Chain A
Amino acid sequence: MHYFWVPFLPMLGIIIPLLTNKFNRSTCALATALLPALALGLILFDLPAVLDGQAFTQSIEWIPLLGLNLSFRLDGLSVLFSLLILGIGLLVILYARYYLSEKDHMGRFYCYLIMFMTAMLGIVMSNNMLQLWFYWELTSISSFLLISFWSHSSDARKGARMALTITGAGGLALLAGIVLLGEVVGSYQLNVVLNSAELVQQHPYYLAILSLFLLGAFTKSAQFPFHFWLPHAMAAPTPVSAYLHSATMVKAGIFLLARFYPVLAGTEVWFVVVSLTGLFTLLLGAYTALFKHDLKGLLAYSTISHLGLIVLLLGLNTELAAIAAVFHIINHAIFKASLFMAAGIIDHESGSRDMRKLNGLWKYMPITATLAMVASASMAGVPLLNGFLSKEMFFTETLDQSILGSLSWLIPVLATIGGAFAVAYSLRFIHDVFFNGEPKGLTKTPHEPPRYMRVPVEILVALCLVVGIFPAYTVGPLLDSASLAVLNHPLPEFSLAIWHGFNIPLLMSGLAIAGGLAIYLNRKPLFRFEGLFPAIDAKIKFEGAIQACVRWAQKVNQTLESGSLQRYAFWLCFFALALIAPPLLDLDTTRGSQAEYPLNGAVAIAAVLLVAGSLATVIWSHYRLIALLMLSLVGLVVSITFAYFSAPDLALTQLSVEIVTVILLLLALYFFPQHTPTSKSRPSHFVRDLAVASLIGCIIGSICFALMTSPLDSISEFFIANAKTGGGGTNVVNVILVDFRGFDTFGEITVLGIAALGIYKLIARMRLSMRTKDHDGRLWATDKYPVLLSVISQSLLPLFLLISAYIFMRGHNLPGGGFIAGLITSIALIQQYLAHGVDWMTKRVSVSYHYFIAIGLVTAAITGLGSWAFGQPFLTSWFDYFSLPWIGKFELTSALVFDLGVYLTVIGATLLILANLGKLTTKERLTVGVR
């Protein structure tokens, strides 16, 4: 089947207008029209089969786990809509060629228009609900771009924003509905969903699904109370109004109702809600349209009213009503698009859309006037035109329903009243614009438009006549197949004829025409009466509501985001507490069954030191240097703890990190006040923080105790069993780091490198002042680099490096490895910085530490990638044993090279941080010295 390409052709065509914009305007329009025309050809190619009542679907799996497939279908309904979208779309492209002025960016306009066309085709041809929703949102976005095309106008921007907000919100509701429906049915494919009516309608979610779908449809199709966005969308260029706001986008909501008619319709709720919403919208739109002075405003409200009519038909519980709805979709698209185009011509050639200024245009543009009159007559429902046929069917169906019980007779009466208003505003459109005296205050003399600008209108008006006179031969088959798709079962008998004899619907038509005449003749008192009501500007109300939302959001934001880290930290701790504590309450006992070690003196002393050190850090936290010393005491005891409990690697790492951290904090302390100012914090905060901290401490302690005393089933057995055989090393911790979990380590050294670079950027261009004196007013020592320190450090350096090399080499089999060796080397170098100063070191170490990080990471990465060369997964290690004379048997492993990468990165990161911070102290000190 060829139809699969139909939604893709215009998609490819989105960029064509942008590419051809630089040629002349006709070329651009022609090139733009090419792919949609091709798509239309493909549809026509498949048309005969569809008219025979066949439906086709075609799918490609996309994300099958989510039920999302790329899936298209071609049945009567989608063929009908595709013809409207592509046919009217092509006419609009032609029309816009003449409508847009030289100043407008034609390529951009066509680009948006084709994007919209793609989206609409996607909606009507989707066979997957999620895919349908995706296209649905794309119409909202592209219509936003089209409405705001003249973005210099505030009305256009506001109108576009309003349309996007309303239809976008409806789209979200629709998504929720689709997901619910998909979960209920168990599939997102339409061919499955459409045949699951019974399952869905008996499901408890039915009401929710229905409401969400109706929200989506009613917002898109401008049904009361969401109708107000449509008149404001009239700020768009007229080709957009003709395309989006008559034929296509506003019909998307109706399409949705029609598409899901087989599965959602048929219940009491559907009939009541849908029909009453439609009826009310029909009346409201028809009444308001009469009083609009703006041509497009009148047409917009008339569109709302006609959409209401179609919705009402879909809500009536007869099959013929659904057929009438489909018929009116076709007719309304044809006559309303031509009317919008006529209004655009009038605006374009006379410079105004205000009906108080526009009068007597018949003299100036007789052809356009004739065309507009025929189209208006169709809108009013005058016999021999297509609008009459569907209106007759509509009147017939209003008679045949029982929604309001014994008050059901109200519906045909109200429908006739709506019809009368439609006649009245159509009359106004004709009489006020083309007759009724002479034009008043126009800026230019009206004249006929360029020849080809009128062609689209002529084609559409001709269609109005042809369909109106020979309905059965023209739209008959199309209507049959589309209705078949809507009803999802064989059609009842119905006849498409102009003359059904003298009957009640004909009487209603007559009454509507007579009533419309009467209303129009008495328009002056009616306008005076309408003038008594205060004018409501939906735009102001809407913007007000939006701004209220923004203010509210700001308020919430300010409350939550007060700028106090203290407060954030408190809430973080509070919620951690609130979430962790309850499950612990259910635990019967903390003490598990595991045997415990008896307490001995050494551990007791260490524990006392830890507790005392922590406590002292807190108590003396105002005296920052002392707090720092106490903190390093804690750190030392922690490393001894690691050593005591069989973790030599950890002890070594902790010890070296401890040294580096203390140097770092001491350097930083240069730039901070040495004493924290006496706390102003309220006593209540103090108690609060103390309570939270203690509670969390208790919980962490309890969990820790419970963990240690419970029997453990760990995956570590695997590592111990395979370290030697699989990784070639006896130090299991190191083998885990460079082999089993090498990818983690790779990530970690990357993070380390990133952190160091971030710090480097933070230090760069930092402007800080350094004190010349300490807290007690003493000057800093003048002896910057004590001789003894320099000499000893320098002579220790080779020893340090030797030790780190040793630690590095033995790491795979004995405690040590890249992390620890890297830290030891760093400490050795920092020692030189401390003893000799930055300048001395800079002369001797000319390599920038950035390179260490880079080379380290690249080494690690290449080691990992190297295993690909042997057809192994990333970071698979390799090792083997060799023997050389004198040296004896030794082992070579690829993990050693990886560890070298770790080693280099650690050195680079540590020194990048500390050397730069140290440089800062030197630099600042110099400036102070000079001063």
Chain B
Amino acid sequence: MELVYSVCVGFMSACGIFLMLRGHTFTLVIGLTLLSYSVNLFLFASGGLTIGSPAVLNGSENYADPLPQALVLTAIVIGFAMTAFAVILAMRGRADLGNDHVDGDDPVDPLAREDKA
């Protein structure tokens, strides 16, 4: 099962990074989100996988590692704030610069001006 888990994490990271290397802001934000999913899974797994015994004390002997869980929980919330910041920044960039390119190209996006014309 661990093998399948790590293959999934690796695959998601690859997809996320590939999307982040594209030239448009929205794709980049999607890539960033995908990458943060995989990073959260990665961090979560650093405590090892446990099935059926959450870290809620009930007298049993074996608990899942609570520390990575606590770290990942805040990471998820902060990740949301980061995604939101990136996407709003992308919108602002499009509003002020007239296009959503992040690849150094600076063409005037014909669609962005469509309704203003």
Contact yes or no, B57 A724, CB < 8 A = yes
Residue of A nearest to B75 (CB): A748
Interface membership of B108, Cβ < 8 A: no
**Chain B residue contacts of A702, Cβ below 8 A:** 6, 10
In the assembly, what is the distance between CA of A845 and CA of B96, in Å? Answer: 31
Interface membership of A559, Cβ < 8 A: no
Interface membership of A923, Cβ < 8 A: no
Question: CB within 8 Å of A: which of B97-117?
Answer: 100, 102-106, 109, 111-116
Residue of B nearest to A598 (CB): B1
Given the contacts A719-B66, A741-B70, A645 and B50 also touching, CB distance less than 8 Å: yes
Given the contacts A715-B67, A766-B92, A748 and B30 also touching, CB distance less than 8 Å: no
Interface membership of A569, Cβ < 8 A: yes
CB proximity of B3 to chain A, nearest CB, Å: 6
**Chain B residue contacts of A723, Cβ below 8 A:** 57, 66
Total interface residues in chain A, CB < 8 Å = 119
**Chain B residue contacts of A647, Cβ below 8 A:** 44, 54, 64, 69, 72
**Chain B residue contacts of A607, Cβ below 8 A:** 4-5, 7-8
Interface membership of A906, Cβ < 8 A: yes
In the assembly, what is the distance between CA of A677 and CA of B105, in Å? Answer: 13
Contact yes or no, A733 B66, CB < 8 A = yes
Among A266-274, A811-819, A830-838, the one that faces the other chain is: A811-819
Interface membership of A12, Cβ < 8 A: no
Contact yes or no, B34 A771, CB < 8 A = no
Main secondary structure of the interface of A (DSSP, over half): helix
Contact yes or no, A737 B20, CB < 8 A = no
Given the contacts A696-B14, A708-B48, A756 and B26 also touching, CB distance less than 8 Å: no
Residue of A nearest to B1 (CB): A597
Contact yes or no, B95 A766, CB < 8 A = yes
Interface membership of A684, Cβ < 8 A: no
Interface membership of A9, Cβ < 8 A: no
**Chain A residue contacts of B82, Cβ below 8 A:** 755
Residue of B nearest to A714 (CB): B65
Contact yes or no, A732 B10, CB < 8 A = no
Contact yes or no, A698 B19, CB < 8 A = no
User: What sequence of 0s and 1s flags, for each residue 703-746 of chain A, a beta carbon within 8 Å of any chain B beta carbon?
Assistant: 11101110010111001100110000011110011000100110
In the assembly, what is the distance between CA of A74 and CA of B18, in Å? Answer: 67
Given the contacts A647-B54, A653-B76, A732-B66, A716 and B4 also touching, CB distance less than 8 Å: no
- Across chains A and B, the number of contacting residue pairs, with CB separation under 8 Å, is 329
Contact yes or no, A597 B77, CB < 8 A = no
CB proximity of B81 to chain A, nearest CB, Å: 4
**Chain B residue contacts of A737, Cβ below 8 A:** 70, 73-74
Contact yes or no, B65 A712, CB < 8 A = yes
Residue of A nearest to B24 (CB): A676
Given the contacts A615-B15, A673-B109, A768 and B104 also touching, CB distance less than 8 Å: no
**Chain A residue contacts of B84, Cβ below 8 A:** 661, 664, 755-756, 759, 913
Question: CB within 8 Å of A: which of B7-59?
Answer: 7-30, 33-34, 37-38, 40-42, 44-58
Question: CB within 8 Å of B: which of A583-631?
Answer: 594, 596-600, 603-604, 607, 610-611, 614-615, 617-618, 621, 624, 627-628, 631
Contact yes or no, A681 B12, CB < 8 A = no
Interface membership of A551, Cβ < 8 A: no
CB proximity of B55 to chain A, nearest CB, Å: 4
In the assembly, what is the distance between CA of A614 and CA of B94, in Å? Answer: 26
Interface membership of A402, Cβ < 8 A: no
Contact yes or no, B8 A752, CB < 8 A = no
Which residue of B7, B16, B77, B87 contacts A752 across the interface (Cβ within 8 Å)? Answer: B77
Among A297-305, A685-693, A893-901, the one that faces the other chain is: A685-693
In the assembly, what is the distance between CA of A624 and CA of B33, in Å? Answer: 14
Question: CB within 8 Å of B: which of A473-520?
Answer: none
**Chain A residue contacts of B13, Cβ below 8 A:** 693, 696-697, 700-701
Contact yes or no, B10 A698, CB < 8 A = yes
Contact yes or no, B34 A712, CB < 8 A = no
Which residue of A610, A712, A763, A823 contacts B12 across the interface (Cβ within 8 Å)? Answer: A610
**Chain B residue contacts of A700, Cβ below 8 A:** 9-10, 13, 38, 42
Contact yes or no, B26 A672, CB < 8 A = yes
User: What sequence of 0s and 1s flags, for each residue 85-97 of chain B, a beta carbon within 8 Å of any chain A beta carbon?
Assistant: 1011111101100
**Chain B residue contacts of A694, Cβ below 8 A:** 14
**Chain B residue contacts of A709, Cβ below 8 A:** 2
Residue of B nearest to A694 (CB): B14
Residue of A nearest to B46 (CB): A707
In the assembly, what is the distance between CA of A646 and CA of B58, in Å? Answer: 14
Contact yes or no, B77 A906, CB < 8 A = yes
In the assembly, what is the distance between CA of A259 and CA of B79, in Å? Answer: 59
Residue of B nearest to A708 (CB): B2
Contact yes or no, B44 A646, CB < 8 A = no
In the assembly, what is the distance between CA of A457 and CA of B29, in Å? Answer: 75
**Chain A residue contacts of B76, Cβ below 8 A:** 650, 653-654, 657
Residue of B nearest to A568 (CB): B102
In the assembly, what is the distance between CA of A860 and CA of B21, in Å? Answer: 39
Interface membership of A570, Cβ < 8 A: yes
Residue of B nearest to A741 (CB): B70
Contact yes or no, A748 B74, CB < 8 A = yes
Contact yes or no, A705 B51, CB < 8 A = no
**Chain B residue contacts of A770, Cβ below 8 A:** 115
In the assembly, what is the distance between CA of A600 and CA of B89, in Å? Answer: 43
CB proximity of A902 to chain B, nearest CB, Å: 9
Residue of B nearest to A738 (CB): B70
Interface membership of A441, Cβ < 8 A: no
**Chain A residue contacts of B20, Cβ below 8 A:** 569
**Chain B residue contacts of A707, Cβ below 8 A:** 45-46
A-B contact pairs, 5 of them (CB 8 A): A569-B20, A597-B1, A646-B51, A661-B33, A661-B83
Q: A573-B21, A610-B12 are in contact. List 7 more A-B contacts (CB 8 A).
A: A650-B72, A672-B91, A693-B15, A736-B66, A751-B81, A752-B81, A766-B95
A residues within 8 Å of B by Cβ? Answer: 562-567, 569-570, 573, 594, 596-600, 603-604, 607, 610-611, 614-615, 617-618, 621, 624, 627-628, 631, 634-635, 638, 641-642, 644-650, 653-654, 657, 660-661, 664-665, 668-669, 671-673, 676-677, 679, 681, 689-690, 692-694, 696-705, 707-709, 712, 714-716, 719-720, 723-724, 730-733, 736-737, 741, 744-745, 748, 751-752, 755-756, 758-759, 762-763, 766-772, 813-815, 819, 823, 906, 909-910, 913, 917, 928
Q: Which 8 A-B pairs have the closest CB atoms?
A: A701-B10, A697-B14, A564-B104, A565-B102, A705-B6, A646-B64, A693-B18, A732-B66
B residues within 8 Å of A by Cβ? Answer: 1-30, 33-34, 37-38, 40-42, 44-58, 63-67, 69-70, 72-74, 76-85, 87-92, 94-95, 100, 102-106, 109, 111-116
